[in-house]
Amino acid sequence: MSKQPIPVLLDGDPGHDDAMAWMLAAASPALKILSVTSCSGNQTIEKTTYNALRVMALLGINAPMAMGGTPMLGKEMPVPAVHGASGLDGADLPEPKQAPVDLPAVELMAQVIRSSPDPVTIVPTGPLTNVAALFAAHPELKSRVERISLMGGGIAHGNWTPAAEFNILVDPEAADMVYRSGVPIVMAGLDVTEKAMLMPSDFDRIRAVGGKVSTVIADLLEFFFQFHKSLGYPGCTIHDAVAVAYLYAPELFTGTDMYVAVETGGRYTRGATIGDVHNLWGKAPNAHVLTGVDREGFADLFVEAVSHWKED
């Protein structure tokens, strides 16, 4: 008997790796995309919203899209050094084929969750601003969320400060609310995503598939690699794609259940995710923390996924 596709709500700040995460989601028959929402992160909310619509047009994602909010207490923190001035530099993306719906992201998410016959999975690949606001405004909908498969945090270390990963650092208050929400979390943090690398030889395999999507993804990878190369990495870490890949290829990953807390104060540690590896707090785990990946199997997923559009 074939399994029903997993209903997913994509929420992100595209962003090169967000675009690649959404590409895996759009290609996989194991997932059904119910909505797309933007958040402020890699670029301003206006730019990530426009980029989200361009990525949807490229991939033919047919779902309602809504614009999200800006970090709860903080300011926007665009990172043009990583993703370029547009937030998605390096490739020729099509113009949007649709406009955002006339609702805030939180209300679109609420509507979609309420009308889904089955509990949904939320896949946040940016700061957790929208998800926290959703749970604050509609706490009754938490029970309709099967799990949150998110990219954010790192138990061992950060990437934007020694302690904090970018998505959590941009909106620690939101992340704290989500990690304490009681909704099961799969955490694709730096512990696994820094091992989830595509190498230049993988870029070539992706380009060799042919078609518009393969070209755009390969061009995005080449651009993203410039930043990684400047840090001495041999390839690109495709952080956000792990949050999607885990849903339909969990056999590629290893992980551990633990309680994870988010630091919202801290002289040096604001935005850190503290994993209680030895269960010293004695709390029930709130997250399945991914730690290992079959890198080659992960790379193969991309080649298979772009093949979905090879005739376009």
Which two structure tokens, joined as six digits, stand for 191? 């512990």
Among 6, 8, 15, 52, binds ligand BDR (CB under 6 A): 15
> Which stretch, 24-32, 46-54, 165-173, 197-205, contacts ligand BDR (CB under 6 A)?
165-173
DSSP 105: H
Rounded to a whole number of angstroms, the minimum distance from the CB of residue 288 to ligand BDR is: 18
Q: Is 149 among the residues that bind ligand BDR (CB under 6 A)?
A: no
Answer with the entry of Ca ion, ligand BDR, none that 101 interacts with (C-beta below 5 to 8 A by kind). none
Q: Is 165 among the residues that bind ligand BDR (CB under 6 A)?
A: yes
Dist. CA 120–CA 117, nearest whole Å: 9
**Per-residue contact flags (x/-) with ligand BDR for residues 77 to 116, judged by CB under 6 A:** --x--x----------------------------------
Which of 152/209 has CB closer to Ca ion?
A: 152
Name the one residue in this structure whose structure tokens are 């970018």: 166
Dist. CA 169–CA 158, nearest whole Å: 9
- Which stretches within the chain are classed as H helix? 16-27, 45-59, 80-83, 105-115, 129-137, 166-170, 172-179, 190-193, 200-209, 212-230, 239-248, 295-307
Q: Is 217 among the residues that bind ligand BDR (CB under 6 A)?
A: no
Rounded to a whole number of angstroms, the minimum distance from the CB of residue 10 to ligand BDR is: 12
Answer with the entry of Ca ion, ligand BDR, none that 202 interacts with (C-beta below 5 to 8 A by kind). none
Which two structure tokens, joined as six digits, stand for 72? 């709860």
On the 0-12 / 13-18 / 19+ scale of CB atoms within 10 A, 27 is buried
Concerning whether 308 is annotated as a catalytic residue, the answer is no
Q: What is the largest CA-CA distance in the chain?
A: 54
Which of 20/209 has CB closer to ligand BDR?
A: 20
Considering the candidates 16, 239, 288, 308, report the single residue annotated as catalytic: 239
Which of 79/103 has CB closer to ligand BDR?
A: 79
Q: Is 11 among the residues that bind ligand BDR (CB under 6 A)?
A: no
Rounded to a whole number of angstroms, the minimum distance from the CB of residue 165 to ligand BDR is: 5
Which of 10/209 has CB closer to ligand BDR?
A: 10
Dist. CA 89–CA 54, nearest whole Å: 12
197: helix, coil or strand?
A: strand
Task: Report yes or no: 108 and 51 within 8 Å, Cβ to Cβ.
Answer: no
How many other C-beta atoms can be found within 10 angstroms of the C-beta atom of residue 205? 17
Answer with the entry of Ca ion, ligand BDR, none that 147 interacts with (C-beta below 5 to 8 A by kind). none
Which residues have C-beta within 8 Å of that of residue 221, sequence separation ≥ 6? Answer: 16, 198, 202, 203, 206, 236
Q: Is 42 among the residues that bind ligand BDR (CB under 6 A)?
A: yes
For residue 190, CA distances in Å to 209, 255, 270, 289 come to: 29, 12, 16, 10
Phi, psi of 128 (to 5 degrees): -90, 20
Q: Is 40 among the residues that bind ligand BDR (CB under 6 A)?
A: no
Rounded to a whole number of angstroms, the minimum distance from the CB of residue 307 to ligand BDR is: 24
Which of 58/164 has CB closer to ligand BDR?
A: 164
Which two structure tokens, joined as six digits, stand for 108? 């679109």
Give the residues lining the site for ligand BDR (CB under 6 A): 15, 17-18, 42, 79, 82, 125-126, 151, 159, 165-167, 239-240
Report, as residue numbers or ranges, the catalytic residues: 239
